[in-house]
Structure 1
Amino acid sequence: MRKLPLAAAVAALLLSTAVAADTSKKHDKEQPADAPDAALVKPQSSTSEGSVSVEGHSIGYKAVAGTLVLHGSGDKEHEPTVSMFYVAYLKKGAKASERPVTFIYNGGPGSATVWLHMGAFGPKRVVTADDTHTPAAPYQLVNNDYSLLDASDLVFIDAPGAGFSRLIADDKDPGKRAEQMKDREKAIYGVDGDGHAFAQFITEFLSKYGRWNSPKYLFGESYGTTRSAVVANILTNEDSVDLNGVILLSQILSFDNSIDGPESNPGVDQPYELALPTYAATAYYHHKLPAPPADLDTLLHEVEQFATGEYAQALMAGAQLDAARKQAVAEKLYQYTGLPAAYWVKANLRVSGGMFEHELQANDDTTTGRLDTRFSGPSLDPLGKESEYDPQSSAISSAYIAAFNDYVRKDLKFGDGQRYREYADIPHWDMSHQAPGSHEALQQSTNVMPDLAMAMKTDPNLKVFLNGGYYDLATTFYAAQYEMDHLPIPDSLRKNISYAWYPSGHMVYAHEPSLKKLHDNVARFIESTDNAKH
């Protein structure tokens, strides 16, 4: 189901017959069943071996499915707080100091990393329908021709409380355990606590596997991009860990730019302007434009100019906008989105993502997808104002969850007797954030642009690669571009940022041609920033 505000957008973020790989295995020991938290304070692991064919090249690897235990800070530095689950794929025969390592995670906040693992870069990939609902099991798990193992070792990390990651409350007294758990949730379930947990995990991993001198990368999707900005700054400026690159997929750094629930933040009209190109691309895809242009690129260029020009000026006018001008703008919005001019006028020229998803195909009682607007599904309430679920999420989630649960137990030999949680059970996510240079956490819509900027300024060699889908209404591509254009960095560092856009949605890799392009682009980025090769 589609969720709204957690600061409007957060809870709704992700949050995303073939030849199988050789799966010859060597196992250390099996993970014990879910047990009292006392069992979580000890790291666990299961090791296996396999190979994957990436675009015609075979790569042998060692896979480690396991946990690392995080601890508190200050006077609680010896107190275990989180058992974090990961799956690491390490290329066999590679020299650690010359082999890049990429830390990969989804968003949520509080999402497991099953999506990037089974859909994008792991050695196995689950097959799903391109823009329609994937039929029920059995699902097909195939060799991933576009695994990123050809370019880097991979570490897929589940957020605290998600997947097999668990918060630790190990006091023997039940009452004290409950209080301990509340303390853990308060400390970790928030922008800053989550960022420090991931940074601590990364430094522990570097020590455990001897990877301190390896080229290092972060790859975050959705809220994972928010996390990456925070983690990059922590690693660079608190842990003295310079990164070679930060790779962002479906970016959201400033939550004021989200098109989820912007009506709860009146006076801030940027989300409507920045979402308009995605509305236009979606209407073009579903053949809803009254006079469609020859190609998508032409349309997007024209709409971007209109969104930041005439449309932005009309919204800025507010109540001073006269009826004739409002009607003229509404007519243009109809040409670009397929929604009737009368609807735009009635909506005061401000249509949220949920409204657009509900209305674009309303004549067919059909709801348009949010994470990927190429998807559609039956409307739950044809008379409603906004969509009440996401057809794309409903279309593919079961395939990912089933495939991973089967794979992790049968191939990776981990998780017997445990429940794999798609999302953490988070009672409250603290969106306040203490940005670099601030004396306290700011009570405002989360904005981690200063964090990424600080990491780039204190490490002027840090490279950033932004990727996004044209059909993503959860984190719109034009908003991501806008954020990068407004990142508070000197002009000399602008060259350190590169971009790639895809004819896909939030989970770019759900569209196989885009997955290939994403793989090739990211592999090229890693190669160009790997100092062992230059």
Structure 2
Amino acid sequence: MNSLHTALAALILSMSAFAHPGVAEETPPNRKGPDEQARGLPVESVTNHVVTLQGEKISFTARAGSVRLRDAQTEAPQAEVACISYERAGVDQTTRPILFVFNGGPGAASAWLALGALSPWRLRFSPETVSPSTPPALVENAESWIPFADLVFIDPPGTGFSKILSDSDEVKKRFYSAQGDADALAVVIRKWLTAHGRLASPKFLVGESYGGFRGVKLANSLREHENIGVEGLFLVSPALDFSWLLAGGNPLARAALLPSFAAVARHAKDRADVTDAEAYAAGEYVTDLLKGARDAPALARMSAAVARFTGLDREFVSRLGARIDARSFSRERARDAGRVLSVYDAEISGYDPQPFAPDSDWADPLLESWRAPLGAAMTRLTIEKLGWPIGEARYSVLSSQISHQWRYGDEGRANAEVISGLREALALDPKAKLLVVHGLYDLTTPYFATKLMLDQLPDFGDASRARLIVLKGGHMPYLYEESRKAMRDAAKAWLETR
């Protein structure tokens, strides 16, 4: 999700603790001592399953277990990282792609991608009607990726069922930092590959949102510290450079949002419906933005154009200097109806709890509606289908506490970026490749921001090595069946053209 680094002292501590070859090996998952079982997670559960997807019977092995991270010097347990994997039966594992899957947050568990898009089972839902009281029903996922790739879903420490076992504040700070997170998860991947005999398999990383940021850093940590090379990154709605995403002084951040605003205003079905908005955003809009807020003719031109593209009142647009942020758009666009739009998918709306107040604070209609059924469905899956006895443990879908404690490095969140790390990875390995999927209605990580960033990369011998696909939907485009199918088909073709 390279120029992002933690302070030198913290990095050295991180390296000595768990990120490099000096780390003590964890006790094999099925041979934990009684004291470790009492505080950690249960021993690994291995089950066999058959699902019928698109008329084909798929047999696979599911593993629900964990990888323990220890202090390299004292061997004291530091964290128990939960992993759920699905491996197809009867295939050559040396040529079978294996994908390690993460969500973002920071503080989000892997359930979003797991039960929303990739796993053999998914939560039954409709993006327009999902609510906190939606039953956590599981159905076979016709769009699962298991027919063409093995899948390992990893929940970073503090998310899902994963636990931090150390009482040390320094250990928690390290796990809750951009570099420490990448270094720790690199160890988890190496140990998982070694324990399950998959070191020879073609390896790929899949990350969503901050998971895209994490994915780039993780690829570099795997290469530099764990002797593991990955062939590609499949990123969904990634955050690659926060200066393009946060409200601040970068005028390009406003330009990056405009095509998504236009897509929502027009109920666009695909990117072709907003080509004029893209052209304006990358041309006249940027030119006028750079002239500054005191240029009255520029403000007048921008106000008229932005009002036209967004469907917002021109006076309101002018009052904001024709610099519309996602939250202002999401409230003002549906204000007359007493509703607010989700910044994660602005085609989805909910009621404004304070519709008559000049300012309001609200739970996001999509993100917050998903949390309860998703967490309950993940618990049901783990216990009922995978036979992993997690007891009364609660599955943490999304932790705001982790997000608030997260440290991005010396540059801070506003300047955190991994585009430079992506450049390095693509330049170093001629076989490495990148596929990015975005949704049209995403106001959190708008697709046009990623498009403009990727346009700055050299072709590195083949411009198709870094590709962008834009689908109907928002931050989680896979919530829509047609986009879930398109994402699956794109992943299959991408993996098969190695």
Shorter-chain TM-score above 0.5: yes
2:59 counterpart residue number: 60
* Structure 1 residues 298-340: Cα deviation after superposition (integer angstroms, max 9, x where no partner): 4411001111211111211113412x43223211111100001
Matches of 1:135 and 1:202, distance apart in 2:
33
Q: Could you tell me which amino acid in structure 1 is paired with residue 444 of structure 2?
A: A
- Mapping 1:232-381, distance limit 5 Å: 232-259=219-246, 262=247, 265=248, 267-285=249-267, 297-322=271-296, 324-381=297-354
Normalising by structure 2, we get a TM-score of 0.88
Cα–Cα, structure 1 residues 356 and 385, in superposed 2: closer, same or farther, change >3 Å? farther
Cα pair 1:31 1:416 within 8 Å, conserved: no
Helix, strand or coil at the partner of 2:426: helix
Call closer, same or farther: CA 1:387–1:349 in 2, change over 3 Å.
farther
Secondary structure of 2:153 counterpart: strand
The corresponding residue for 2:405 is 429
Match of 1:393 in 2: 367
Aligned mate of 1:152, from 146, 149, 152: 149
Deviating more after overlay: 375-384 vs 247-256: 375-384
TM-score of the two chains, using structure 1 as the length reference: 0.82
Alpha carbons 1:246, 1:465 under 8 Å: kept: yes
8 Å contact 1:132–1:375 — kept in the other structure?
no
- Tell me if structure 1 keeps the 8 A contact 2:338–2:351: yes
For the residues of structure 1 that align with 2:415 and 2:35, how far apart are their CA atoms?
38
Secondary structure at the aligned position of 2:46 is classed as: strand
SS in 2 for 1:148: coil
Output the amino acid matched with 2:206: F
* Shift in CA distance, 297/268, structure 1 to aligned 2, threshold 3 Å: closer
Q: 2:182 aligns with which of 195, 208, 216?
A: 195
Cα distance in 1 for residues equivalent to 2:275 and 2:293: 29
SS of 1:96's equivalent in the other structure is: coil
Aligned residues: percent identity? 28
Counterpart of 1:482 in structure 2 is 452
* RMSD across aligned positions (CA): 2.4
> Which residue identity does 1:149 align to in structure 2?
I
Compute the displacement of 1:49 (Å). Answer: 1.1
2-structure distance, mates of 1:429, 1:103? 25
Q: Which residue of 2 aligns with 1:82?
A: 79
1:154 alignment partner, SS class: strand
Please list, as runs of the form range in 1=range in 2, the aligned pairs for 1:161-180 lying within 5 A after superposition: 161-169=158-166, 177=167, 180=168
SS of the aligned residue for 1:391 comes to: coil
* C-alpha separation in 1, matches of 2:282 and 2:361: 27
2: CA distance between counterparts of 1:343 and 1:388? Answer: 21
Are positions 1:411 and 2:385 aligned together?
A: yes
State the distance in 2 between where 1:386 and 1:317 align: 32
1:417 partner amino acid: E
In 1, Cα distance between equivalents of 2:201 and 2:181: 24
Q: Which residue of 2 aligns with 1:514?
A: 483
Query: Mind listing any 5+ residue stretches in structure 2 that lack a counterpart?
Result: 1-28
Cα displacement (A) at 1:45:
0.5
CA distance, structure 2, for counterparts of residue 135 and residue 193 of structure 1:
33
* Range 411-420 or range 471-480, more displaced: 411-420
Q: 1:64 to 1:375 in 2, by over 3 A?
A: same
Classify 1:103/1:375 alpha carbon distance in 2 versus 1 (closer, same or farther; 3 Å).
same
C-alpha contact 2:219 2:230 (8 A) present in aligned 1: yes
Q: Which amino acid counterpart does residue 465 of structure 2 have in structure 1?
A: N
Give the match for residue 214 of structure 2.
Answer: 227
Relative to structure 1, the CA distance from residue 282 to residue 99 in structure 2 (aligned partners, 3 Å threshold; closer, same or farther) is same
Counterpart amino acid of residue 148 in structure 1: W
Change (3 A) 1:121 1:31: farther
